[in-house]
A and B are shown apart, each in its own frame.
Chain A
């Protein structure tokens, strides 16, 4: 099973600042099959990025994904008020599918 470790656990930033979220895999993720989701309180998760760097439909271009192998990054270039949420990475390169523990982006 691939274990995904997200860091930091919490990121305290101000609107307009850049957010850099890390997702590290315990072994290489096949074909860089890694996705990122955003979840706000009381809501279902929303897909942001798939295949490590492809933005999902309707996702603003301030969200970008990068990385390969075991190290992946989600970057939000300039935080908007609606971006404060919890972010999860997920690998689908091998079964069982696994999620990281999440990074909470909170307002400083």
Chain B
């Protein structure tokens, strides 16, 4: 069974940093791209970032480009999201999701983890 377990969320002040992790199991991690999607409280879904299976290609939404960095450690089956210069509008549940690589690393998402809540507030 595929399992994705996010961690690292919490309360952080504006301008602060946080690193999210997503531990994957139940599938061949190196065979899939991975993605972060967020959902502000009571709002819809927003794609944040995706990374290829090798980690060699990364993609970002304009809203986080230059502030967030996606990475992965294939030896640990773990996906990361380093978030810097956090703003109040980054407050959301952050989900990681398994992503097929064909025909592109930018694809649909299945399954999703349960998410980790990031709150940016003073």
Binding site for B on A (CB under 8 A): 31, 33, 35, 37, 43-47, 50, 56, 88, 90, 92, 95-102
Contact = CB atoms under 8 A, between A and B. Distances in A.
A74 to B, nearest CB: 14
B45 A47 contact: no
Interface of B: 44-47, 50, 59, 61-62, 95, 103-104, 106-115
22 contacts: A35-B108, A37-B45, A43-B114, A44-B95, A44-B112, A45-B109, A46-B111, A47-B110, A47-B111, A56-B110, A88-B45, A90-B45, A90-B47, A90-B108, A90-B109, A92-B106, A95-B59, A95-B106, A96-B47, A98-B47, A102-B44, A102-B45
B113 A99 contact: no
Contacts, number: 54
Nearest to A43: B114
Q: Is the interface of B mostly helix, strand, loop or mixed?
A: loop
Tell me whether chain A's interface is mostly helix, strand or loop, or mixed.
loop
A90 B112 CA distance: 14
B106 A44 contact: no
A49 to B, nearest CB: 9
B19 to A, nearest CB: 21
Contact of A45 (B46, B106, B107, B112): B112
Nearest to B104: A92
Given A44-B115, A88-B45, A90-B45, A96 B61 contact: yes
